[in-house]
């Protein structure tokens, strides 16, 4: 294992409610390709090159897949909600987006405007709304051609090594209170199963809503290292949530690179 996962961030032993982003459930909430590029350190001439096979897991109403496909990437998005009617997904996306936006406005100190992120909270909220609208406009036709697949971790309906790159945003680690260690390990193994040998699975963020790193990250990576998985922590500067400073990159066993 080539990764030290301990954080040097100093956090108080007890956190006030105002310093925790409450996540009592998973949300049907999505982002666009520009934000994915920042969160996952994606390069146009490499990970997003034409013909690259990319899977977005737990994608929600993200517009990444449709935008990436427009650039020649062979992108597929997976979410357990796919398969529902577009009208149903529109209601769910709006409800969850408004719930998240209300909490963002109530806790602005938890976000990092400016720089490589958004100029302010409202710009971030507007970008996520635009992403979901683009997803919804593409959903019905995209579902028919297989761009959107209804499925959920820890079991995905794809062959071994089907993708060059697998992305999973804002599910694992962020929801440590909802998903136990066994789920996290099984999910990571499944993400790697569908990644080609030498390809990568990238997960973001490494922290929960309290800003702390996933408490069992060392144990998780030790179990994956026993499978022959290499791991590294890649700093990212474009995440809007103040504590989301890194993405975890897992290399599937085998030679080569994405």
For the chain, 258 residues long, the average pLDDT of each consecutive 10-residue run is: 34 48 75 96 94 97 98 98 97 94 92 91 96 98 98 97 97 86 97 97 93 93 96 91 94 67
Please report, rounded to a whole number, the percentage of residues in the chain having pLDDT higher than 70: 89
Q: Provide Rg for the chain, Cα atoms.
A: 17
pLDDT tens for each residue of 147-156: 999 999 999 9
Contact between 203 and 175 (Cβ < 8 Å) = no
Where residue 234 sits, what CATH number does that domain have?
A: 3.40.50.150
For residue 146, is it within any domain? yes
pLDDT tens for each residue of 165-215: 999 999 998 887 788 999 999 999 999 999 999 999 999 999 988 888 999
For residue 154, whether the previous peptide bond is cis, meaning omega lies within 30 degrees of 0, is yes
pTM for the model stands at: 0.90
Structural domains counted in the chain? 1
Domain with 168 in it:
25-251
**Mean pLDDT, the chain, integer:** 89
For residue 166, is it within any domain? yes
For residue 10, is it within any domain? no
Q: What is the pLDDT of residue 232?
A: 95
For residue 2, is it within any domain? no
Q: What is the pLDDT of residue 211?
A: 86
Look at residue 231 and give its three-state secondary structure. strand
Q: What is the pLDDT of residue 9?
A: 37
For residue 18, is it within any domain? no
Contact between 65 and 77 (Cβ < 8 Å) = yes
For residue 244, is it within any domain? yes
């Amino acid at each position: 294992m080539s990764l030290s996962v301990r954080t040097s961030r100093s956090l108080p032993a007890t956190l006030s409610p105002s310093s925790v982003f409450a996540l009592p459930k998973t949300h049907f909430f999505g982002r666009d390709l520009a934000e994915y590029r920042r969160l996952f350190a994606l390069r146009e001439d490499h990970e997003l090159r034409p013909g690259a096979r990319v899977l977005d897991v737990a994608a929600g109403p993200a517009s990444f897949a449709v935008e990436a496909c427009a650039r020649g990437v062979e992108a597929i998005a997976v979410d357990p909600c796919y398969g529902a009617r577009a009208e149903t997904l529109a209601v769910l996306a709006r409800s969850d987006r408004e719930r998240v936006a209300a909490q963002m406005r109530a806790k602005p100190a938890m976000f990092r405007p400016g720089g490589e992120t958004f100029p302010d909270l409202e710009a971030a909220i507007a970008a996520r709304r635009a992403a979901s609208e683009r997803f919804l406009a593409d959903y019905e036709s995209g579902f028919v051609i297989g761009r959107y697949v209804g499925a959920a971790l820890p079991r995905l309906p794809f062959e071994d090594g089907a993708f060059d790159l697998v992305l999973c945003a804002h599910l694992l680690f962020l929801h440590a209170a909802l998903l136990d260690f066994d789920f996290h390990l099984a999910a990571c193994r499944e993400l790697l199963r569908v990644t080609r040998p030498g390809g990568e699975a990238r997960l973001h963020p490494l922290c929960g809503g309290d800003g702390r790193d996933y408490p069992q990250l060392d144990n998780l990576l030790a179990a994956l290292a026993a499978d022959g998985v290499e791991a590294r922590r890649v700093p990212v500067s474009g995440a809007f949530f103040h504590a989301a400073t890194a993405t975890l990159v897992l290399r599937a066993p085998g030679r080569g690179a994405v």
